[in-house]
Amino acid sequence: MKSRDRLRIAMQKSGRLTEPAQDLLARCGLKFRQSRDKLFCFGEGEPVDLLLVRDDDIPGLIAEGVCDLGIVGRNVLREFQLTNGTGSELSELRPLGFGHCRLSIALPQEDAYSEPSQLHGQRIATSYPGLLGEWLRAHGVDARVVMLAGSVEIAPRLGTADAICDLVSSGATLVANQLREAAVVVESEAVLAGRAELPLDERGEIAELLLRRLDGVIQVRD
Ligand code: PRT
Ligand code: ZN
């Protein structure tokens, strides 16, 4: 296979991170032409192209070498690092200052919470078994992790779990489902992910240039 000489960045096709990620790349001076399938965007000035995908696929695309960098929530990146053999090759290169949220454990409103040991023997529903498992081990809690791909917040009402571990930003979803936030597992925001070692060819040089521009943009904004 011919090696790539253009840098490829993966970002979310359509979701919470799409617009702020596009704005950030534009402020770094990157311009893209959108293709008809809207999956691949060719970079017009610099040799940098975009791949628009589901956020969950971004760490895997970088690990497999299909993309060099990705803009993704720390929650998604760290879950991949914990649950995939190739995850250790990836690292968080920069926090990007948008998409803030936290992965938290929440209990039914009527259950008071004082300490992690209360969760012993409980069933906790989540889409983040890696991150929740790490927190439970760190706090010496023996709980059962119930894996759910979505609608985690309704599990306690359905009786399929006693507690949940899910993303929270304003807290309105928890309130609407009669849940209360008990403990924060991870503080998250969008990050630039990449392999720990940048490629040693032209792509590495372009990546370094992009990182320098990004640092300038982030500094101005702060
Ligand atoms: O289609 P694709 O798989 O790409 O999108 P997605 O639906 O998986 O992701 P999306 O767009 O919802 O979220 C992308 C990323 O945004 C997440 O991985 C987080 O890093 C970040 N983010 C920031 C959030 C939130 N805030 C957030 N509030 N992701 C999800 N939520 C959800 C949460 O799951 C819960 O259902 O919003 C609800 C809670 O919000 P509040 O304000 O009611 O607390
Ligand atoms: Zn997703």
For 19-71, the pLDDT digits (tens) are 999 999 999 999 999 877 789 999 999 999 999 999 999 999 999 999 999 99
Residue closest to 9 by CA, chosen among 189, 198, 192: 192
Q: What is the pLDDT of residue 2?
A: 54
For ligand 1, atom 42: residue with the closest CA? 170
Identical topology for domains 7-99+189-221 and 101-187:
yes
The pLDDT assigned to 34 comes to 81
Domain covering 101-187, topology: D-Maltodextrin-Binding Protein; domain 2 (3.40.190)
Domain boundaries, the chain: 7-99+189-221, 101-187
Given the CA of residue 13, which atom of ligand 1 is nearest to it?
A: 4
Ligand 1 atom with the shortest distance to the CA of 190: 20
Count CB atoms within 10 A of the CB of residue 61. 18
Rounded CA separation 149/12 (Å): 18
Whole-angstrom distance, CA of residue 94 vs CA of residue 81: 16
Q: In a 3-state reduction of DSSP, which class is residue 175?
A: helix
Q: What is the pLDDT of residue 60?
A: 97
How far apart, in whole angstroms, are the C-alpha atoms of residue 188 and residue 208? 24
Superfamily of domain 7-99+189-221: Periplasmic binding protein-like II (3.40.190.10)
Pocket test for ligand 1, best of 101, 152, 180 (most atoms within 8 A of CB): 101
For the chain, which ranges sit under pLDDT 70? 1-2
> How far is the centre of ligand 2, averaged over its atoms, from the C-alpha of 112 (Å)?
31
Q: What is the pLDDT of residue 1?
A: 46
**pTM, full prediction:** 0.96
